[in-house]
């Protein structure tokens, strides 16, 4: 088996420096999150943001749903890539949602983003009842509810649409047999659930903390 290189912070910075320039507000969010302690890990990697932007542009994505917005880095990154579309963001944290909203306004993408604050399951069921459909759905919220979010998201994704799920490698712990803590096993169970879903084409990419890409067929 071909061995992949490990992406550490130095290499991540190299990739960033040799890709296109980050938007000034993207840089602000990154710097803001650095001061948040352990929860800063909730931000997706720069490499992952680049990848998602390319996915949006290549597939001419218009309607996006994000489950778990945090301080807005991933939503802003997607908003910068989407033309004439709308990103619906779901998050239950009022404080971080306010921070995200301010960053969206500063970047002048707030007209592209509809941020709904509340329990994600309630918001997802409301969207299902409204017969909403999305070209791309990004799941990056509380891991305990990943299977529930995925099943609800499947009802909202368009045919040939993409569902992306973050943190599926969980710092590599999912492949370490000595790791049997609750959160690692939750991610393992989710990965098995996706593996067995015959309604989709899927793969796991080792970028950021691991991203699963599912295509509804």
| 26 occurs within a structural domain | yes
| 50 occurs within a structural domain | yes
Q: Which domain holds residue 35?
A: 9-216
* Residues 78 and 64 sit within 8 Å (Cβ to Cβ): yes
What is the block-wise mean pLDDT of the chain (217 residues), using blocks of 10 residues? 73 82 95 89 90 97 98 98 96 97 98 98 98 98 98 97 98 96 98 98 95 96
| 3 occurs within a structural domain | no
| 4 occurs within a structural domain | no
Total residue count of the chain as it appears in this document: 217
pTM summary value: 0.95
**Residue 2: what pLDDT?**
63
**Residue 215: what pLDDT?**
98
| 104 occurs within a structural domain | yes
| 117 occurs within a structural domain | yes
| 206 occurs within a structural domain | yes
CATH number at residue 166: 3.40.50.150
**Residue 91: what pLDDT?**
98
Q: How many domains does the chain have?
A: 1
Q: How many CB atoms lie within 10 A of CB 115?
A: 19
| 56 occurs within a structural domain | yes
**Residue 38: what pLDDT?**
80
């Amino acid at each position: 088996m071909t061995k992949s290189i490990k992406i550490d912070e130095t290499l991540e910075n190299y990739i960033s420096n040799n890709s296109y320039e980050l938007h000034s507000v993207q840089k602000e969010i990154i710097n803001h999150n650095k001061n948040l302690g352990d929860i800063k890990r909730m931000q997706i990697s720069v490499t992952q943001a680049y990848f998602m932007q390319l996915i949006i542009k290549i597939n001419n994505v218009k309607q996006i749903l994000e489950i778990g917005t945090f301080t807005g880095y991933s939503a802003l990154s997607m908003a910068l890539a989407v033309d004439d579309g709308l990103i619906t963001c779901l998050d239950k944290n009022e404080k971080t949602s306010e921070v995200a909203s301010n960053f969206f306004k500063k970047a002048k993408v707030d007209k592209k983003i509809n941020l709904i604050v509340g329990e994600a399951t309630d918001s997802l069921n409301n969207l299902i009842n409204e017969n909403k459909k999305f070209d791309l759905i990004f799941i990056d919220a509380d891991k305990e509810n990943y299977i529930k979010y995925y099943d609800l998201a499947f009802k909202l994704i368009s045919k040939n649409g993409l569902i992306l799920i973050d943190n599926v490698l969980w710092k590599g712990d999912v492949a370490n047999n000595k790791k049997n803590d609750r959160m690692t096993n939750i991610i393992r169970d989710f990965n098995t659930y996706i593996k067995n879903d015959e309604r989709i084409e899927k793969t796991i990419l080792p970028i950021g903390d691991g991203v699963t890409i599912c295509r509804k067929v």
